[in-house]
Amino acid sequence: MQTTSRTSDTVPPILSHAGPLLERYDVIFCDVWGVVHNGVTAYEGACRALETFRSGGGTVILVSNAPVPKRRVADMLESRHVPQAAWDDIVSSGDIALAHVQKRGFTRLYCIGPQDRDQALFGALKARSVSLQESEAIICTGLTDDRHEKPDDYRGLLEEALTLRLPFVCANPDLVVDVGGTLLYCAGAIADLYAHMGGAVYWAGKPHLNSYETAHHRAEALRDENVPRGKILIIGDSLRTDMKGAETFGSDALFIASGIHRHETMDGISLSAKGLADLFVPGSPPAIAAMAELRW
């Protein structure tokens, strides 16, 4: 295990290989986008590392803020050539959002998001899609046109929703996503705007406990045993979702630098110790280690 010198107690050591670290845990909760693939193709080293962990008896739960049911996430993984041998189960924010809608008993929803891309979620809703004025709540999977729109384009609609006191179900708490090197706004950016305006938001997914508690239940069911949180490692590329979620849940975290924070932490193909120190300032959620990319 190779590390750089730490400039602060808050800055994680940099690893070149994760194998010795991963072997200390029974379960991995792994982010998908930015760790396992980049939105276009799989990261082979990361996939091999997860396969190796599983072959040694470990359990891998992919924890994704994708605003669709897990069966659709599995399809997307296959299309990006992520081998099924790299994971045991998937927890998606889409499934968490659907469960919340059912629990609340909503029957009329105003839907925000691309109907074609996220049809797997919209089609699974038992509630009817209605106008804002007729709705009991809003459910949002993303910007309708994330290539050209910005969250502020929704301000007028959100002001009306606030007047109607509509709760907002955010099916993807991410603010942005990296799609093949391009950063695009996500549902979380609209939800964050609504929350700052005073609206009530249900966040379905990371960094909130609903995602990790669901993953914990799945892991214990698969292993047929209790799994202490100290034997779970959370791997991700986002301070706001993955690292913060790990801190809240009470498990160790491994930070992957080449994902959403790559412009801040990467110097070409190498992880910058200075960039890492600038990111992990005092008060930031901690990580037990950092890597440019996940590899065994």
Could you check whether 19-94+207-291 and 102-203 share the same CATH topology?
A: yes
Which residues fall within 8 angstroms of residue 263, CB to CB, at 6 or more apart? none
Helix (H) or strand (E) holding 52: helix 44-55
In this model, does residue 159 exceed pLDDT 60? yes
Decide if pLDDT at 5 tops 60: no
Query: Average pLDDT over the chain, rounded to whole?
Result: 94
Cα–Cα dist 241/40, whole Å: 21
pLDDT for residue 134: 98
Q: Which CATH architecture has domain 19-94+207-291?
A: 3-Layer(aba) Sandwich (3.40)
Domain ranges for the chain, please list them.
19-94+207-291, 102-203
Residue 183 makes CB contacts below 8 A (sequence gap 6+) with 176, 177, 260
Residue with tokens 């797997």: 120
Percentage of the chain modeled with pLDDT above 90 = 89
CB 77 within 8 Å of CB 60: no
Distance CA 63, CA 30 (A): 6
* pLDDT above 70 as % of the chain: 96
The 10s digit of each residue's pLDDT in 122-148 is 999 999 999 999 999 999 999 999 999
Burial class (CB in 10 A: 0-12, 13-18, 19+), 118: buried
Express each pLDDT in 103-114 by its tens digit.
Answer: 999 999 999 999
Whole-prediction pTM: 0.90
CATH number of 102-203: 3.40.50.1000
The pLDDT assigned to 6 comes to 37
How many residues in total does the chain contain? 296
Calculate Rg over the CA atoms of the chain: 19
pLDDT digits (tens, 9 = 90+) for 61-83: 999 999 999 999 999 999 999 99
Asked which of 21-35, 171-185, 210-224 is least confident by mean pLDDT, the reply is 171-185
Q: Sign of torsion, CA 12 13 16 18?
A: negative
pLDDT value at 3 more than 90: no
pLDDT-derived band at 2 (thresholds 50, 70, 90) equals very low
Task: Give the tens place of pLDDT for each residue, 6-64.
Answer: 344 789 999 999 999 999 999 999 999 999 998 889 999 999 999 999 999 999 999 99
Predicted local distance difference test score (pLDDT) of residue 180: 65
* pLDDT value at residue 1: 39
**DSSP per-residue letters across 93-140:** HHHHHHHHHHHHT--EEEEES-TTTTHHHHTT--SEE--GGG-SEEEE
What pLDDT is attached to residue 260?
87
66 contact partners, CB below 8 Å, separation of at least 6: 32, 33, 72, 73, 76, 92, 93, 94, 172
